[in-house]
Amino acid sequence: MQSQEEIQDFCRRYFQAVKAPLLQDEPAYLQVELPRDVDKELIDRPWHWMMVETIYKDIPNTVKHLIFQQDLQREDMERPEYLTFGSLFLSKMIDSTKKRGSCTCGYQQGAMLTGTTLVPVLMITCKLSLIADRCRDEIVSYGVHLLTGEVYHDFYERVEGLTFTPQPSQLVQVETAKLSMQQGFTKIRDQVHSEIQAMNHTWAIDAQDNLSREREQLETYYQSLGLVNADTQLPDEEKAAKATLFQAELRLRLEELEWRCAPRVKIEPFQFALLYLSETVLRGANVSRERFVQ
């Protein structure tokens, strides 16, 4: 979503998907009515709803005036909201989309498919993040053939342009999965793990070096505190109390360091789909491919 047009387009598609009627749709302007369920997801006002739902039964839906150009002038706008990429409202729409669009099941459609057999594939899309005190992400997607157990890369790109419906067409045959979802998921996980192991981990080695350096610094520092403490003229009890205190502090600092700097790879699946596809889609899909992450 780089441009204001793209943001407006996203909004338009979102409102259509959640069945929020677009009352007006013009360049740099959308007027939309928010059904109650959508309203609750986008505007954070639980008290309002508690009141409304105990006292009044019917109140009209909220109507929002969204503008995508800061100085847009119109006469019929009430409290227009200017949306940019950082807007809270847009951020809520993105959250809502992610929540509502996380799981799907569909059967491939198309005139060419008549008489063919559709096979079940479990697809997952994941955010793969390399994390230490800094981080970077990428999106990866995989499919697993639920008859053969074959795993495919970049699967989302392969199916993105296809059409799916909730029910299969009368003119195709549908195979039933032989592998359970759990088995399919495990196959993908195994694949992801072996790919991660083959990655270039320079970033993690650097992070680990930094971690070791900082750890050593902490340990040396607390060691010297300990030595100074042991050397003082204080009564033994006080010395012991101090030593315990230093130990506890060191432990806390080490935990914080680990938390902040330890390199790790986080994989967060954000979508699952059970798709029934023609075998032709799977043909040529690359199973084993080296992944390189900078």
| Contacts (CB under 8 A) with other proteins, residues 210-229 | 210, 214, 217-218, 220-222, 224-225, 228
Cβ 145 to other proteins shortest distance, Å:
18
Half-sphere exposure of residue 61: CA atoms within 13 angstroms, side-chain side: 17
Among 29, 67, 106, 143, interactor with other proteins by CB under 8 A: 106
Which residue, 58 or 290, is less far from other proteins as judged by CB?
290
Which of 220/247 has CB closer to other proteins?
220
Q: Does 14 bind other proteins (CB under 8 A)?
A: yes
Q: How far is the CB of 73 from other proteins (least distance, A)?
A: 20
Give the start-end residues of each E strand in 103-255. 103-109, 117-131, 135-145, 151-153, 163-165, 173-174
The span from the CA of 225 to the CA of 176, in Å, is 68
CB 174, CB 103: distance < 8 Å: no
Binding of other proteins at residue 143 (CB under 8 A)?
no
Beta carbon of residue 260, minimum distance to other proteins (angstroms, whole number): 5
- CA–CA separation, 278 and 97 (whole Å): 28
DSSP-based helix, strand, coil % in the chain, nearest 5: 45, 25, 30
- Which residue from 43, 72, 243, 262 is in contact with other proteins, where contact means CB under 8 A? 262
**Closer to other proteins at the Cβ: 53 or 268?**
268
DSSP 8-state secondary structure symbol assigned to residue 30: E
- Output the CA angle 235-238-243, nearest 5 degrees: 125
Q: Which stretch binds other proteins (CB under 8 A): 8-16, 24-32, 146-154, 233-241?
A: 8-16
Using CB under 8 A as the binding rule, the residues of this chain from 55 to 84 that contact other proteins are 84
By CB under 8 A, name the one of 55, 259, 283, 286 that touches other proteins. Answer: 259
Least Å distance, CB 136 to other proteins, is: 5
| Minimum separation from the CB atom of position 57 to other proteins (A) | 27
Instruction: Write down the least CB distance from residue 56 to other proteins, Å.
Output: 28
187's CB contacts (< 8 A; 6+ apart) are: 144, 149, 151, 179
Least distance (Å) between residue 24 CB and other proteins: 21
- Are the C-beta atoms of 131 and 264 separated by less than 8 Å? yes
The answer to whether residues 164 and 106 touch, using CB atoms and an 8 Å cutoff, is yes
Choose, by CB under 8 A, the member of 61, 62, 116, 129 that binds other proteins: 129
User: What are 224's two structure tokens?
Assistant: 């010297």
Give how many residues touch other proteins by CB under 8 A.
83
Pairwise CA distance, residues 289 & 286, whole Å: 7
267 touches other proteins (CB under 8 A): yes
Considering only residues 168-207, where is the footprint of other proteins by CB under 8 A? Answer: 181-182, 185, 189, 193, 196-197, 201, 203-205
Tallying the residues shown for the chain, one arrives at: 294
Judged by beta carbon, residue 28 or residue 262, the one nearer other proteins is: 262
| Window 31-60: residues binding other proteins (CB under 8 A) | none
| Residue number, 55 or 130, with CB nearest to other proteins | 130
CA distances from 114 to 146, 169, 175 (A): 22, 9, 15
For β-strands 62-67 and 29-34, DSSP reports them as antiparallel
Which two structure tokens, joined as six digits, stand for 46? 């639980």
